[in-house]
Amino acid sequence: MLAVVYLGGSAGCGQSGRDSQFTKKETATKSLASNGDLMVRTDYSDKNNWLSLPLYQDKQVDIFYVYPTAWGMPEGSTSVVSTIDNEKMRRTAAGNFETQATAFQPVGNIFAPFYRQLDAGFILSKSPLVERAYIGVTPYADIEDSFDYYIKHYNHGRPFILAGHSQGSMVLKELLMVYMKEHPDVQERMVAAYLLGFSVTGEDMQRNHHLKYAEGPDDTGVIISFNTEAPDLTVENKTVLKGALTINPITWTRSETPAGAYLSKGSRIRDGEDYTDIFQFADATVNQERGTVMCSTVRPQDFKSGSSDLFPLGVYHAYDYQFYYYDIRENARNRVEHYFQNAEADK
């Protein structure tokens, strides 16, 4: 069954606030159902519906990766949701996997489902409350179904890391709020959740007491999130919500103390089909007021994230993983090590 998601936001805790939230949920459900997207559930016993199913599960930890938006509405289309077999989405998702998920390759066995996505222009044009209502329908149904199938058939009791970006992080945030609350035994095995390219807010933490945000490089069972920008950016970043929490992807602390590029483990920059490893490239400074991470060592005009309507110059959305690729890898390895140390100490 598709979970009814409690929608956070600025509405109060009274009955009228809840009614408003669920009305938006019902409206989104009816809108998507009119396109037939809710009539058939995606079959995750079909291996063709997985972007990555490791043949050999030889590592002690799994990675469950959810890729960012890899599809856009074709001209003339009336549906804001992709089909599960859309060739362009699958091809672009494979590229996202190489850019992002491979950061975790030495750390764990990577599982990644295909899922039906919303058009980025459509979803980012909505208010946070309506945005979440749409995410909570078709994309969430697929990710909940695929994750539940993974837990029951592929995980075999191993600890796991959640990793996503952009729309993938939006959906994983719902999974943390809904599925993990209903399955605390599963949550106990979560090493960390890397929800990059979208916001986790203080209000999210207040409303979901079973979740906690990272405070340092070693804690486990925590959420990690950040959005990368140029310094002194004043334009709206559509992936940053009011009250966004953030962490420095070099020092893995939440203080505003700058981390120079010389401290970074290294970047992996994609240029077409080629990848280049660059060391001492990206610095990082937390901007607590905006809830973002500032990178001052690159030129905005050299690192555009697609449509300027969605991501203005200086919003490094497409590079959240690329700038800090090897920092993310090392931090994931470190958190796994501490997870097993803590598990041993608890025996």
Q: Where are the domains of the chain?
A: 1-196, 226-334+343-347
Separation CA 266–CA 240 (nearest Å): 25
Fill in the DSSP letter of residue 210: T
- Looking at residue 275, its amino acid is Y
Q: Give CA–CA dist 252/216, Å, rounded.
A: 5
Cβ–Cβ < 8 Å for 268, 277: yes
Give every residue of the chain whose pLDDT is below 70, as ranges.
1-39
Helix (H, G, I), strand (E, B) or coil at 269: strand
Beta strands in the chain (DSSP E): 50-52, 62-66, 109-113, 160-165, 190-196, 222-224, 228-229, 267-271, 274-278, 285-287, 292-294
pLDDT of residue 39: 58
Paired residues of 109 in beta bridges: 62
Q: How long, in residues, is the chain? A: 347
Tokens of 289: 């007021």
Q: Please tell me the predicted confidence (pLDDT) of residue 121.
A: 83
pLDDT of residue 149: 98
Confidence at residue 23, expressed as pLDDT on a 0 to 100 scale: 47
List phi, psi (to 5°) of 24: -65, -40
Residue 50's φ and ψ, nearest 5 degrees, are -120, 130
Query: How far apart are alpha carbons 282 and 294 in whole angstroms?
Result: 10
Burial class (CB in 10 A: 0-12, 13-18, 19+), 234: exposed
Q: How many C-beta atoms lie closer than 10 Å to residue 38's C-beta?
A: 17
pLDDT digits 0-9 by tens, 28-76:
444 454 444 455 899 999 999 999 999 999 999 999 999 999 998 888 7
Residue-wise pLDDT for 144-169, tens only, equals 999 999 999 999 999 999 999 999 99
